[in-house]
Each structure stands twice: as structure tokens, then as C-alpha cells.
């Protein structure tokens, strides 16, 4: 009887305590779809010495924890929960401490359903290919270097080819001038340079004597450009004695004086005055005017000989356009070969590395 009375009193006190400090949980729905949110609320009939630990969940996630509210001597804590796993998930019992006593909440079952997808209404797209990485300078820098090298080579070859063509044309046009016309042209160009006026006397006399010597070499067929002053004057004296040239002895003497004056300027650093330089210029002009070969004598000697005319064969020169096209074709071929070699180097390295690995 005493034991029965004890159990009755204990049960009554437990019920009274639970009524005074009860803990309730509730949700606004127990059935949700994947990703859908719902509210989970904990109500506590006490406001003092209450501890609400962090929720212990499995298969369900906390989206947000709202601010703790106090309403009519009650504490209300609300949570926003969701789940991304289909199926049934329990919100287990949560332990709440009230005045240093542990109280357990009820567990709740939440059903998470999948979203039905009608595949017949979904628009289908073709499978996209693999998207490659964007190109960088390092991917084709070797091509840039080869192109630059080829352009430099083409420019160099074309420059020298065109320069040689222009030089050949200039030489051809100069060869069409007679020795006398070439000498007059040389005097005109020399005067336009204003060498001695700019204190370039040595260069002036060197070019002046070269004009006279070149005239003598072409007109009289004497190697005047390589002959010394004494040798040239002696040769002209012999030609005068044999009447191979039509000129006066004073002209030969003037030539000797001009050449010796030029030697003094070039080798002895002599500096003649302005009137002397102008006088030497006039002397040079008078020399080429007076120094002529004896054509009459040469023609009389050759009257008894048979005249033979030999036609010089014309050599057809390659067109400049053909040269350029040929050069470009060679360069393109060389560029293709070089590019093939560059592309083959990595493959060769991989092959060698594989061979070394197999050997090891």
C-alpha cells in the first residue's frame, strides 16, 4: 500500500511539473518537395534558465534560425528547414535544458517527395563538342618567329636583287655615253658637290684627276687609272711622237702639271688657293677637249683590211617578276619544312622519353 501511494504521488508531481514546464514542437507541414522550405517551431513554457542547443538533424538542413521570441511567459524559437534528399526523414528528439533539467522534444516525420519531370515536353539540344582552351602567344610563338625570319630573309634578298638590277641599268646607261660625254657629265657632278668650297680639297683633286684619267683610258685605250703620273706622261709622249694622237705638247705638259698638283694635294697635304683650283678645273676641261686619237691614221691603216662585223649575241635576262616568284616559292617551301621540323620535335622527344622509360 505504501509503495502504491509513493508511485501515485511521484506520477502526480511529474505530471504537474510537465504541465508547468512543458516543451512542444510543431511544423507547418510534414510533406514537402525537394528544396522546399518549411517551419519548425519549439515552444517552451518557461523564460528563465533555458538553454536551447544546436539542432541535431540528419537528411534535413537548417536554412535560417529566426530570432527568439517571448510571448506570455513562453519562449518560442523558430527555424526554417529544407531537404534535398527524397524520402522520409525524422527530426529527432531535441534536448532542451530548463533550470538545469533536461527535457526531450517529440520526434517528427518529414516526407520529401521528388518533382515529376515530363521528359516529352523538354526541348532537346544536340551534344556540344569539347570546348578547347583559348590560344595564347606561347602556343604559336614559334610560328611568329619563323614568319619574322622569313620576312627578313625575303626583304634582304629582294633588296639586293633590286639593287643589283638598278646598278646594272645604271652601268648600261653609263656605257651608252661617249668618253667625252662621260667626262663632261663627271665635271658637272663634281661642280655640284662643292667639295673644295667645303674644304674637301683632297677629295676634289682625286675625283678631278679620275675624270681625266678615265677619259684617257676610254678614248685612247691606255690603262691610265692604274698608271703613275710619270708613266702616263711618257706614254702620251710616245703616242705624240708616233702621231697616234692629235694633241699639242702644251696639252701633255698641262696634264703633267695637273697630275703633279693633285699628287701634292693628296700626298703632301698641299692646299692651293681658290683661283688655282679653278684654273686646274679649266685645265682639265681643256685637256679632254684637245686630247683626241688620230682616227684618220687608224682608218687609213685599216682600209686594206676586210671589214668583218661580228654581231654580239643577245643574252635574254630573267625577268625580275620571275626572280621574285622563284624566291618566294623557295622561301615558302623552306618555311613549310621548318614548320614540320618544329612540330616533329615534341613527338621525337616523347618517343625518346618513352624509350628511356622502357629501358629503365
Instruction: Give per-residue pLDDT as tens, 205-254.
Output: 999 999 999 998 888 888 888 888 888 888 888 888 887 887 888 888 88
Euclidean distance between CA atoms 269 and 271, whole angstroms? 6
Mean pLDDT score across all residues of the chain:
78
For residues 302-315, average pLDDT: 41
Determine the pLDDT at residue 241.
81
Q: How far apart are CA 312 and CA 107, in angstroms?
A: 121
pLDDT at 106 over 70: yes
Domain chopping of the chain, boundaries:
21-113, 161-296
The answer on pLDDT for 14 being more than 50 is no
Q: Please state the pTM of the whole predicted model.
A: 0.39
> Shortest CA distance to 204 belongs to which of 265, 252, 153, 162?
265
- Give per-residue pLDDT as tens, 119-141: 677 777 788 777 777 777 677 67
DSSP state at residue 75: E
Q: Are 290 and 220 in contact (CB under 8 A)?
A: no
Of residues 331 and 310, the one with the higher pLDDT is: 331
CA–CA gap between residue 299 and residue 317 (Å, rounded)? 36
Q: How confident is the model at residue 7 (pLDDT cuts 50, 70, 90)?
A: low
Confidence tier at 82 by pLDDT (50, 70, 90)? very high
Task: Give percent of the chain above pLDDT 70.
Answer: 74
Give the β-pairing of 31-33 and 50-51: unpaired
- Which pLDDT does position 339 carry in this prediction? 66
Query: What is the pLDDT at residue 26?
Result: 92
Report the pLDDT value the prediction gives residue 192, as an integer from 0 to 100.
92
| pLDDT band (50, 70, 90) for residue 350 | low
Q: How far apart are CA 242 and CA 142, in angstroms?
A: 75
Whether the per-residue pLDDT at 24 is higher than 50: the answer is yes
Structural contact between residues 291 and 245, judged by C-beta atoms closer than 8 angstroms: yes
Least confident span in 3-17, 186-200, 204-218: 3-17
d(CA 343, CA 139) in angstroms, rounded, equals: 12
Q: Identify the pLDDT of residue 315.
A: 46
pLDDT at 110: 92
Which whole number is the average pLDDT over 151-155? 79
Check whether 309 has a pLDDT greater than 50. no
With 80 as the cut, is the pLDDT of residue 354 above it? no
The residue among 359 and 182 whose pLDDT is bigger is 182
Q: Name the band, by pLDDT with cuts 50, 70 and 90, for residue 40.
A: very high
Identify the CATH assignment for 21-113 out of 3.90.226.10, 2.60.40.10, 3.40.50.1580, 3.60.21.10: 2.60.40.10
Residue 327 has pLDDT above 50, yes or no: yes
pLDDT band at 109 (very low <50, low <70, confident <90, very high): very high
HSE (CB half, 13 Å, CA atoms) of 8?
5
> What confidence score (pLDDT) does residue 307 get?
38
pLDDT digits (tens, 9 = 90+) for 41-62: 999 988 888 888 888 888 899 9
Residues paired with 38 in a beta bridge: 81
pLDDT at position 359: 54
Model confidence at 93, in pLDDT bands (50, 70, 90)? Answer: very high
DSSP 119: G
What integer pLDDT is reported at residue 342 of this predicted model?
65
Amino acid at each position: 500500500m505504501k509503495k502504491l501511494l509513493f508511485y501515485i504521488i511521484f506520477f502526480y508531481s511529474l505530471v504537474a511539473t510537465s504541465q508547468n514546464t512543458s516543451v512542444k514542437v510543431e511544423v507547418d507541414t510534414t510533406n514537402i518537395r525537394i528544396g522546399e522550405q518549411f517551419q519548425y517551431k519549439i515552444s517552451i513554457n518557461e523564460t528563465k534558465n533555458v538553454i536551447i542547443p544546436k539542432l541535431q538533424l540528419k537528411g534535413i538542413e537548417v536554412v535560417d534560425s529566426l530570432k527568439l521570441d517571448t510571448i506570455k511567459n513562453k519562449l518560442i524559437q523558430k527555424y526554417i528547414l529544407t531537404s534535398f534528399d527524397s524520402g522520409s526523414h525524422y527530426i529527432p528528439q531535441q534536448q532542451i535544458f530548463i533550470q538545469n533539467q533536461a527535457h526531450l522534444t517529440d520526434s517528427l516525420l518529414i516526407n520529401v517527395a521528388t518533382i515529376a519531370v515530363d521528359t516529352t515536353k523538354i526541348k532537346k539540344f544536340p551534344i556540344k563538342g569539347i570546348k578547347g582552351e583559348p590560344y595564347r602567344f606561347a602556343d604559336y610563338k614559334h610560328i611568329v618567329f619563323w614568319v619574322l625570319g622569313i620576312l627578313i630573309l625575303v626583304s634582304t634578298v629582294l633588296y639586293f636583287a633590286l639593287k643589283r638590277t638598278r646598278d646594272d641599268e645604271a652601268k648600261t646607261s653609263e656605257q651608252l655615253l661617249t668618253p667625252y660625254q662621260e667626262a663632261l657629265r663627271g665635271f658637272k657632278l663634281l661642280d655640284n658637290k662643292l667639295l673644295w668650297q667645303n674644304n674637301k680639297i683632297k677629295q676634289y683633286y682625286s675625283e678631278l684627276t679620275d675624270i681625266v684619267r678615265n677619259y684617257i683610258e676610254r678614248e685612247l685605250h691606255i690603262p691610265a687609272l692604274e698608271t703613275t703620273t710619270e708613266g702616263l706622261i711618257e706614254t702620251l709622249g710616245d703616242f705624240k711622237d708616233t702621231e697616234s694622237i692629235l694633241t699639242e705638247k702644251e696639252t701633255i705638259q698641262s696634264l703633267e702639271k695637273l697630275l703633279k698638283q693633285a699628287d701634292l694635294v693628296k700626298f703632301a697635304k698641299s692646299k692651293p688657293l681658290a683661283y688655282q683650283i679653278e684654273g686646274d678645273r679649266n685645265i682639265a676641261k681643256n685637256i679632254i677637249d684637245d686630247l683626241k686619237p688620230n682616227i684618220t691614221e687608224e682608218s687609213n691603216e685599216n682600209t686594206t683590211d676586210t671589214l668583218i662585223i661580228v654581231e654580239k649575241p643577245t643574252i635574254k635576262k630573267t625577268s625580275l617578276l620571275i626572280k621574285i616568284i622563284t624566291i618566294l616559292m623557295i622561301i615558302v617551301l623552306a618555311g613549310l619544312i621548318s614548320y614540320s621540323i618544329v612540330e616533329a620535335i615534341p613527338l621525337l622527344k616523347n618517343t625518346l622519353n618513352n624509350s628511356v622509360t622502357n629501358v629503365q
